[in-house]
Amino acid sequence: MKNNNSAMLMAACGVLTVILILGGCGQSNKGGLPGPPEVAVVTMQQKPVVMTTELTGRTSANLVAEVRPQVGGIIQKRFFTEGSNVQAGQVLFQIDPALYQAALARSEANLTAIQLRTDRLRELLVEKAVSQQDYDDAAAALKQTQADIQTARINLKYTTITAPIAGRIGRSSVTEGALVTAQQPTALATIQQLNPMYVDVPQSTAELLRLRDRIKEGHLDQNGANQKKVQLLLEDGTAYPLSGTLQFQDITVDSTTGSVILRVVFPNPKGVLLPGMFVRVLVQEGINKQAILIPQQAVSRDPMGNPLTLIVDAENKVQLRILELDRAIGDKWLVTNGLKSGDRVIVEGMQKVKPGIVVKAVSFEAGNEINSGERKNTPPPPAKRTGGGK
């Protein structure tokens, strides 16, 4: 009897469970099918973007003078402090002038005697008491002595070594008592003018050709007011507060690197820039007046590395687009082919959709737009060309 009751109880529980399940299904059906998946989209718009290229280079002084002796002798005195600023004409070194003073005195003493002899021979020549040759020899000796005097005075002046230019002088390679020689290969000191400062940066010829093509095709406008303005980043990554000016582009290609030199001039009133510093500069290529920027999070890649994205078309269906990318601009990619103005690109929710399904698109709130285009040192992987784009 007890076993029968247990069996009946279990059967009743099973029937109740089935009823509850069927009741739940009935309520789900009454609620209808779930709606389409929701995705966040950004609408593409064309906008003008200033395109820049980041290049590396080194600073150099705009004027450099290596101070060398023009006469030999012993250094008697040094008149400057190493690392200080000097003015043009300021006395730097004094070479012992004794030998040159003696040479000048000897030449001046000879001059008096030769001058008197020449005068006497001139008078005798009128009376034909001496030959013309005797007078000519005396006149030549007079001119030689006058030249010797001038040379002695110049050499004596060169014993005082002065600064040829104004600027900052470096360390001295000699001390007092050192023997120096005329035109020696080792400079006594080097003076460099640091304001303004040059920055020489190499740019590859491949970049120049690419830039020329983009200008020819109308993708870049180089008529901007600040086209020649250049920004500088110091070695620690901080921005230099003053902008420079692109002075010229060299016309000779370096055969070892395949690049040409761009020279930029930067004001340096506080001496922040020193010769030989490694810096980065942002050179303006031009203005892309119809740039399309896509958030980087909206771009994925296929197994071949080609960039792609998903958009929502006019029928709210998901479509796949293959992209061609130029460079990274902040947290966005610059698109050269694959998108047009008005396309709605999926930024969030890509994992739960696939091409062809209907979705519900909502607006994605992005950050501030980036209005400058900077070419980084590591460009995006090459995109597969699908025709029409460069």
Distance CA 100, CA 184 (A): 19
Residue 374: predicted pLDDT: 47
Q: What is the mean pLDDT of residues 205-225?
A: 64
Q: Which residue, 49, 47, 43, 45, is CA-closest to 347?
A: 43
Residue 32: predicted pLDDT: 52
3-class DSSP assignment, residue 141: helix
pLDDT at 301 over 80: yes
Contact 36, 358 (CB under 8 A): yes
pTM: 0.63
Strand intervals (E) in 35-154: 38-43, 47-67, 73-78, 85-86, 91-95
Could you tell me which residue, 129 or 273, shows the higher pLDDT? 273
pLDDT at 155 over 90: yes
Residue type at 363 in one-letter notation = S
Q: For the stretch 32-64, what's the b/e string if a residue is b when 16 or more beta carbons lie within 10 angstroms of its beta carbon?
A: eeeeeeebbbbebeeeebbbbbbbebebbbbee
pLDDT at 93 over 90: yes
Residue 221: predicted pLDDT: 52
pLDDT at 11 over 50: no
pLDDT band at 268; cut points 50, 70, 90? very high
pLDDT 10s digits, 64-90: 999 999 999 999 999 999 999 999 999
Q: What is the mean pLDDT of residues 264-288?
A: 87
Residue 383: predicted pLDDT: 41
Distance CA 104, CA 107 (A): 5
Which structural domains are found in the chain, ordered by start? 37-63+199-385 (2.40.420.20), 69-95+160-186 (2.40.50.100), 97-158 (1.10.287.470)
From 220-234, 244-258, 313-327, the region with the lowest mean pLDDT: 220-234
Could you tell me which residue, 371 or 116, shows the higher pLDDT? 116
- pLDDT above 70 covers a percentage of the chain that reads 81
Counting Cα atoms < 13 Å in the Cβ hemisphere of 39 gives 30
